[in-house]
Amino acid sequence: MLNQSAAMAEEAEVVKNKQVVLKNYATGFVKDSDFIIKTDSTMSLKVPESSSKGVLVKNFYLSCDPYLSFLLQKSDSSLEAQFSRFSLGSTINGFGVAKVVDSRHPKFEKGDLVWGITGWEEYSLIAEPDSLFKIEHTDVPLSHYTGLLGMPGLTAYGGLFEVCNPKKGEKVFVSAASGAVGQLVGQFAKLTGCHVVGSAGSREKCTHGSVLQNGHVLLSFHVWPLASFSVEIAFSISSITQDPVDLLKNKLGFDDAFNYKEEQGLDAALKRYFPEGIDIYFENVGGKMLDAVLLNMRMHGRIAVCGLISQYNLEKPEGLYNVASILFKRLRVEGFAVFDYLHLYPKFLDLVLPQIRAKKITYVEDIAEGLENGPAALVGLFSGRNVGKQVVLVARE
Amino acid sequence: MLNQSAAMAEEAEVVKNKQVVLKNYATGFVKDSDFIIKTDSTMSLKVPESSSKGVLVKNFYLSCDPYLSFLLQKSDSSLEAQFSRFSLGSTINGFGVAKVVDSRHPKFEKGDLVWGITGWEEYSLIAEPDSLFKIEHTDVPLSHYTGLLGMPGLTAYGGLFEVCNPKKGEKVFVSAASGAVGQLVGQFAKLTGCHVVGSAGSREKCTHGSVLQNGHVLLSFHVWPLASFSVEIAFSISSITQDPVDLLKNKLGFDDAFNYKEEQGLDAALKRYFPEGIDIYFENVGGKMLDAVLLNMRMHGRIAVCGLISQYNLEKPEGLYNVASILFKRLRVEGFAVFDYLHLYPKFLDLVLPQIRAKKITYVEDIAEGLENGPAALVGLFSGRNVGKQVVLVARE
């Protein structure tokens, strides 16, 4: 038997392993050219004996998240407490959905579906897999574990319920409302009985499902629920409007929505949509929007600071001038991160899975097909090119 | 008897009533010349029958508080939810300590000592006295009910304990630390076992107890405890250093303190005093200090926004640039006002009175003598001229 095992180990299949490798640290906005698609790597589909607790996974979906911007910049150390900086010449990593191909970890076995931090490559060896979540519910699209049922979903849940404590009838404003987190915040707030308005920017000069310059089919997004995963893809390319305002109002159930790029002034827009003021602001963008929101908050309002995506690529951030509103309106402005709420994941699933099954929650994804289109999808996040959660499809199950 | 009462009412004593009247709304910094001292008014020392619940009080002490700045400016409406705007030609008002001379209110009777909103004048008729607090403890200087035992004391208590929830060993930074609120925040935090550093600005070109241009004795401050009120005044003019850094470290028990006006850069100063970062910042000043503090906060730090005095008289507030720290360090920044904590006043007294009697709390006041010196004392608040709580003595009991 020992001999046979040894023979099997020796015979472990070796496959090609396409990878997204960091070529340059980004300066300002991340560019496609900051990455290389490396096609000549290989991977043995066996966890090496030297990796006592490793798992080897086949990646299905990768998640394009704003925080990746920081790990791609040389100068910023803001997030080093939570993440390791990417190294030049190495494969980048991020949240993703994958299947275990081989495991030396007692918690995981071959065939398990997992989500968590993995590599931007076809196969990944994960040396410390303790932070991976095992996927127990597969009657939902697996891609949702990069969004609705993954880090963005738990972020929306923690930020809205733990930070903002919404009450029925309160007025809630969500920026980047068609994004991975925003669309869920709005729906969770609606389920709580709040009045919800979202802002989003329209996708510019871009037709749904069109082939872009870099040749990839950018938009294959879908609306849950769908009969099966394969149907989902077919469906996604055919039917959904790409206008985020229409999407927010007519697909996601927001009470109202506006395109911030079409407004003469943000203060005036907010006064129009919130004549009585805002109780809760779920902040994803920062900059001028935050400054305008401060002027329109109500007494004892809460602002959950989830992201400041408009500021991430600026050399110097924009100034915030209406700080006095925090004092005069006795506001609470609170930064948070999903890491504070990981212990709530089971409770979150208990809330959200029945809502998904009852078709009371819709989730919009923007799926870029193929690992080689990953860099463009990630870059697009910072110009607001995506509508819905930006995902990269690496392989189908 | 009825006839006799009526006769007494007719014979009610009429006295001269010096008043501080608003002449101009302030533009930018409040100036002495925005006020008139009106000396020809009179007051009948009887609540008129038309005022069914009024009380008539003799004012002893008036409190110079930063919020008054807003009520003196024409354009600002920030605080109108809490306060009525001052009218041109009318007596201004604010917190003060007074004695009831006559009352038609069931809660108050002649001889009661009270603190709360009263007029900047020798005698005030208070039509709606429900918000006045009756002074039950007179073994402490009455002036303390404008500070330690009044609005600033409850502000310090609510802001530190309710907003910041300090824990033993945490690092606390207080700006305007020698001011009415700051000096108490520091001492409360020390009682909690925190490491406390304060910043203050030195009084410029001003000698302790000196006669200033406008001819009033500016500095008659004292350190509690003192044997009696009359001794307090005599004592106050003779012995205390005016250097706020020395005061913070050697009289108020702060672990360390610095004069922000002598620092090359606030960020560098904070890094020197808080090499491990700040857990709690009690914000009294705003502007560049807040921006520097944001860079030096620790993960999950709390910022209680009590005041932004550096910004109140600017045409346009300074921009805040380090907003991303709120996100990355998951900070909570919370504006508050004493009005949220009025219900805690008895609990606050239970905490603070024994500490005062045990001489574990020191309180520094800066008493301007005479109502006619009130405007200069108030103006001085915004140039940082006071050391300690700025009070105006109107009359001795």
pLDDT score of A83: 66
Residue A393 has pLDDT above 90, yes or no: yes
Query: B333 and A332: CB-CB below 8 Å?
Result: yes
Question: Is A286 in the B-facing interface, judged by CB distances under 8 Å?
Answer: yes
Same domain, A327 and A380: no
Measured between beta carbons, which residues in chain B are less than 8 angstroms from residue A290? 323
Question: Is B76 in the A-facing interface, judged by CB distances under 8 Å?
Answer: no
Asked if residue A233 belongs to a domain, the reply is no
If pLDDT is split at 50, 70 and 90, which confidence band does B19 have? very high
- Cα–Cα nearest to A331, from A302, A294, A293, A306: A302
Question: Is B319 in the A-facing interface, judged by CB distances under 8 Å?
Answer: yes
**pLDDT, tens digit (0-9, with 9 covering 90-100), for B118-161:** 999 999 999 999 989 999 999 999 999 999 999 999 999 999 99
Distance CA B304, CA B293 (A): 12
- Name the residue among A318, A324, A340 with its Cβ closest to that of B317: A324
Cα end-to-end distance, chain B, whole Å? 31
Q: List beta partners, residue B195.
A: B171
pLDDT score of A328: 93
- Tokens 């005093």 — which residue? B273
If pLDDT is split at 50, 70 and 90, which confidence band does A291 have? very high
If pLDDT is split at 50, 70 and 90, which confidence band does B75 have? low
Minimal Cα–Cα distance from A188 to chain B, Å? 22
- Tokens 């508080």 — which residue? B65
pLDDT score of A34: 95
Query: B323 and A290: CB-CB below 8 Å?
Result: yes
Question: Is A293 in the B-facing interface, judged by CB distances under 8 Å?
Answer: no
If pLDDT is split at 50, 70 and 90, which confidence band does B218 have? very low
Amino acid at B113: L
pLDDT score of A23: 96
Asked if residue A329 belongs to a domain, the reply is yes
Looking at chain B from residue 344 to 383, which residues have their Cβ under 8 Å from any Cβ of chain A?
Answer: none
Measured between beta carbons, which residues in chain B are less than 8 angstroms from residue A307? 327
Same domain, A139 and A159: no
The alpha-helical segments, DSSP class H, found in A297-333 are: 324-328
- Name the residue among B307, B331, B340 with its Cβ closest to that of A327: B307
Structure tokens at A73: 């910049």
* Count, residues in chain B: 397
**pLDDT, tens digit (0-9, with 9 covering 90-100), for A195-213:** 999 999 875 433 333 222 2
Question: Is A329 in the B-facing interface, judged by CB distances under 8 Å?
Answer: yes
Minimal Cα–Cα distance from A333 to chain B, Å? 5
Which of A32-41, A82-91, B78-87, B199-208 has the lowest average pLDDT? Answer: B199-208
Query: A308 and B290: CB-CB below 8 Å?
Result: no
- Cα–Cα nearest to B381, from B313, B290, B281: B313
Asked if residue A319 belongs to a domain, the reply is yes
Residue A189 has pLDDT above 70, yes or no: yes
CB B158 within 8 A of CB B77: no
Helix (H) or strand (E) holding B112: none
Question: Is B311 in the A-facing interface, judged by CB distances under 8 Å?
Answer: yes
- Cα–Cα nearest to B300, from B315, B321, B278: B278
pLDDT score of B3: 52
Read off the pLDDT of each residue in A276-302 and give the average, rounded to a whole number: 97
Range list of β-strands (E), chain B? 14-16, 19-22, 35-38, 42-44, 55-63, 93-103, 113-119, 123-126, 133-134, 171-174, 195-200, 256-259, 278-283, 297-305, 332-335, 365-369, 389-393
CATH number, residue A19:
3.90.180.10
Question: Is A320 in the B-facing interface, judged by CB distances under 8 Å?
Answer: yes
Tell me the residue range of the domain where B180 lies. 151-199+242-355
Read off the pLDDT of each residue in A212-232 and give the average, rounded to a whole number: 31
Distance CA A151, CA A342 (A): 9
Asked if residue B208 belongs to a domain, the reply is no
Same domain, B142 and B173: no
Same domain, A267 and A383: no
Measured between beta carbons, which residues in chain B are less than 8 angstroms from residue A320? 319-321, 323
pLDDT score of B242: 67
pLDDT score of A5: 52
pLDDT score of A166: 98
Residue B270 has pLDDT above 90, yes or no: yes
CA nearest to A332 within chain B: B334
- Name the residue among A299, A322, A332 with its Cβ closest to that of B332: A332
- Name the residue among B311, B319, B326 with its Cβ closest to that of A324: B311
**pLDDT, tens digit (0-9, with 9 covering 90-100), for A55-114:** 999 999 999 998 898 888 876 555 545 567 799 999 999 999 999 999 999 999 999 999
The ipTM assigned to this model is 0.85
For A205, B255, B289, the CA distances from B266, given in Å and listed in that order, are 46, 18, 7
Query: B323 and A327: CB-CB below 8 Å?
Result: no
- Cα–Cα nearest to A115, from A84, A88, A91, A148: A148
Q: Are strands A278-283 and B93-103 parallel, antiparallel or unpaired?
A: unpaired
Residue B257 has pLDDT above 80, yes or no: yes
Minimal Cα–Cα distance from B104 to chain A, Å? 35
pLDDT score of B387: 81
Same domain, B12 and B120: yes
Question: What is the DSSP track for A10-59?
Answer: HT--EEE--EEEE-S-BSSS--GGGEEEE---EEESS--TT-TT-EEEEE
CA nearest to B336 within chain A: A330
CATH number, residue A285:
3.40.50.720
Same domain, B82 and B11: yes
Helix (H) or strand (E) holding A267: helix A266-273
Read off the pLDDT of each residue in A348-368 and give the average, rounded to a whole number: 94
What's the mean per-residue pLDDT of chain B? 86
pLDDT score of A26: 85
Asked if residue B205 belongs to a domain, the reply is no
Structure tokens at A176: 């980047």
Read off the pLDDT of each residue in B191-210 and give the average, rounded to a whole number: 71
Same domain, A73 and A168: no
What's the mean per-residue pLDDT of chain A? 86
Same domain, A63 and A81: yes
Residue B77 has pLDDT above 60, yes or no: no
Read off the pLDDT of each residue in A8-19 and give the average, rounded to a whole number: 83
* Percent of chain B whose pLDDT exceeds 90: 74
Measured between beta carbons, which residues in chain B are less than 8 angstroms from residue A331? 334-335
Read off the pLDDT of each residue in B69-88 and give the average, rounded to a whole number: 71
Read off the pLDDT of each residue in A155-169 and give the average, rounded to a whole number: 98
Measured between beta carbons, which residues in chain A are less than 8 angstroms from residue B306? 327
**Higher per-residue confidence, A315 vs A227:** A315
pLDDT score of A75: 64
CA nearest to A163 within chain B: B332
Query: B333 and A334: CB-CB below 8 Å?
Result: yes
Asked if residue B259 belongs to a domain, the reply is yes
If pLDDT is split at 50, 70 and 90, which confidence band does B190 have? very high
Residue B96 has pLDDT above 70, yes or no: yes
Using CA atoms of B148, B151, B156, B162 in order, give the dihedral in degrees to the nearest 10.
130
Query: B330 and A331: CB-CB below 8 Å?
Result: no
Read off the pLDDT of each residue in A9-25 and give the average, rounded to a whole number: 89
Q: Are strands A133-134 and A113-119 parallel, antiparallel or unpaired?
A: antiparallel
Residue B289 has pLDDT above 80, yes or no: yes
Residue A138 has pLDDT above 50, yes or no: yes
Residue A303 has pLDDT above 80, yes or no: yes
Q: Are strands B297-305 and B332-335 parallel, antiparallel or unpaired?
A: parallel
Question: Is A53 in the B-facing interface, judged by CB distances under 8 Å?
Answer: no
Q: What is the 3-state secondary structure (H, E, C) of B313-355?
A: CCCCCCCECCCHHHHHCCCEEEECCHHHHHHHHHHHHHHHHHH
Asked if residue A287 belongs to a domain, the reply is yes
* Count, residues in chain A: 397
* Percent of chain A whose pLDDT exceeds 90: 74
Same domain, B22 and B112: yes
Question: Is B306 in the A-facing interface, judged by CB distances under 8 Å?
Answer: yes
Helix (H) or strand (E) holding A102: strand A93-103
DSSP classification of residue B28: S
Minimal Cα–Cα distance from B331 to chain A, Å? 5
Asked if residue A337 belongs to a domain, the reply is yes
Minimal Cα–Cα distance from A296 to chain B, Å? 12
pLDDT score of A70: 83
Question: Is B327 in the A-facing interface, judged by CB distances under 8 Å?
Answer: yes
- Name the residue among A308, A316, A326 with its Cβ closest to that of B335: A326
Residue of A80, A294, A323, A326 best to disrupt the B interface, most CBs of B under 10 A: A323
Cβ of B354: how many Cβ atoms within 10 Å?
Answer: 11
Query: B334 and A330: CB-CB below 8 Å?
Result: yes
Cα end-to-end distance, chain A, whole Å? 32
Q: List beta partners, residue B172.
A: B196, B280
pLDDT score of B201: 86
Structure tokens at B349: 């007294």
Same domain, B48 and B184: no
Same domain, B160 and B109: no
CB B128 within 8 A of CB B104: no
pLDDT score of B4: 52
Residue A368 φ then ψ, to 5°: -90, 130
**pLDDT, tens digit (0-9, with 9 covering 90-100), for B353-366:** 999 999 999 999 99
> Count of domains in chain A?
2
- Cα–Cα nearest to A364, from A259, A228, A220, A193: A220
pLDDT score of B5: 52
CA nearest to B82 within chain A: A328
Cβ of A260: how many Cβ atoms within 10 Å?
Answer: 20
For A269, A280, A298, A325, the CA distances from A295, given in Å and listed in that order, are 12, 13, 9, 6
Read off the pLDDT of each residue in A220-229 and give the average, rounded to a whole number: 33
Same domain, B141 and B171: no
Read off the pLDDT of each residue in B19-41 and give the average, rounded to a whole number: 93
Minimal Cα–Cα distance from B291 to chain A, Å? 10
Query: B317 and A299: CB-CB below 8 Å?
Result: no
Minimal Cα–Cα distance from A332 to chain B, Å? 4
If pLDDT is split at 50, 70 and 90, which confidence band does B309 have? confident
